[in-house]
Amino acid sequence: MSERILTRTLEGAIWSALGRLVQTGMSIASVVVIAQVLTPEVYGLFGAAMLLIGLSEIITGGALTQCLIQRAALDQAHIDSTFWLNTALSIVAAAGLAGFAGPLLSILNAPGATAALYCLAALTILNGIAATPQALLMRNMAFRRSMHIDTASITLASATGIGLALAGAGIWALILMESVRVVVRTALLVFWTNWRVAGRGSRQALRELTAFNLSSLGTVSLARIEMLLPRTLVAMLLGPQALGIWLLARRIVDEIQRLSAVPLTAVTMTAVARLQHESARVRQVVSGLYQASSLFALPMHAGAIAILPWLLPVAFGSQWTAAVLPCQILLISGLRTCHGVFDVSILRGLGHVGLPLVSMSLAIVALALLIPALAGYGVAGVATAVALRYALIWPLGNAFVRRATGMPIAQQLRPMLVPLASALIMAGLVYAAMPWAVTGFGVHLALVFGVTLGALAYAASVFLLSPTLGRRLMDLLVALRRRDRDGIGRLLGDVT
């Protein structure tokens, strides 16, 4: 049974990665086109409205459906009760956002986003409806179907946003793009999931889920607050234009992480939950995740840091040049998140839902203190505050994973040592070569040269520092191309 779960987990990671590749491509294309047309201030107004939507989704965005993934024994009453509870809370949240739109946006210095918030508030209800079928797909390890749903919704949304932006729709290009994504995703989840509402649920079923739901709600709430707090403080302290700069920098970093680490994160909780009574297998999965994430995520982060001063103005326009330094600082902090992104999923999959609350609470306190102190340095100061937060909380996350899995901290860190050293060598070579390449070839060809040099330098560095790991990396790329699940499992499991 455990071998089957490991195989399905790896298959899920592959499908998730393939989907993320398409989704990231479409998402970046839409951002590039829209950013060329819109100003940072308009982007910031939309971001202020989405910030409030994000706050409402602390409760409605899936916190109360995680029990459907984690619970071993699940019946129809549990599912129906969860669906109706989440949907009812979504309706209340949407009404609250619409009713208090003016005062809330005034706090964020974005009164011009009122119309956007009215439209986006309705989407909260659809997201609440979609949370239950999405959780059931994850429980059933239907990762391929989930990938198709997300890819279809993002593709249609991106095409809509690009078309409207080129037509001069302004902020409505962003509003309608998000609307298309949510509507299409909800419709596909409802119709492609074999589950349908069978009744009203029961109080007994809700009581049985209460303990986990409360802990899960605390974890998800703190995670969402931690994510949204920098945006909130940027809007309040620096205004819509600075928020637009921050959102673009954050978006670039998020897309890199979605492509490099999130495909593995998406299957972590499901796999760990299924293997929670087999400690050796859990450690094998966690080690494999750390190894794969380090091999691919670290060079993507380091390479982006090196070429960003030339890439960002070309891709998004000179009006976004101020986003270069904040984005580089966030990417530096992202070198740690190649491992940290798994911590909460590992702990929750093993039933330790209380442990992440401590680290996230401390992270929120750190952000609340550091961001106002450094906001005088602009968006780069806010990015520095976020980077310092990651550095302060890193040891705590490692300690919690050790407690839950029995993995020593040294064993957790070992898989990233060679990839990190190789990525830093590569980034240094690329950054040193780019000015010469721009002078000789022009910026566009220089970017192609920089990416090519980075890929070759990284592979060569891995082989020089660890020939065994270098061969494993090449074998893993071949196995991924051939979709050889047995080969992938062997390579990811062999990390010692």
Domain boundaries, the chain: 2-493
In 3D space, the residue among 262, 290, 272, 265 whose CA is nearest the CA of residue 351 turns out to be 272
CB 348 within 8 A of CB 397: no
Alpha-carbon gap, residue 362 to 7, rounded angstroms: 36
The model's pTM is 0.78
| Residue range 6-28, pLDDT digits in tens | 555 555 555 555 555 666 677 77
Return the number of other C-beta atoms located less than 10 Å from residue 197's C-beta.
Answer: 15
Tell me, what's the pLDDT at 496?
A: 38
Q: Is the pLDDT of residue 358 over 70?
A: yes
Structure confidence by residue, pLDDT tens digits, 123-177: 999 988 888 888 788 777 666 777 788 888 988 998 898 899 888 888 899 999 9
**Tokens 């945006």 label which residue?**
231
Higher pLDDT, 1 or 91: 91
- The reported pLDDT for the residue numbered 62 is 67
Residue 102 to residues 40, 50, 111, 361: CA-CA distances in angstroms?
A: 22, 14, 7, 30
Taking the C-alpha atoms of residue 413 and residue 495, their distance in angstroms, rounded to an integer, is 12
276 has pLDDT over 80: no
Q: What is the band of 234 on the pLDDT scale with cuts at 50, 70, 90?
A: very high
pLDDT tens digits, 27-72: 777 888 888 888 888 889 999 999 899 888 877 766 677 777 766 6
Pull the structure tokens for residue 267. 């299957």
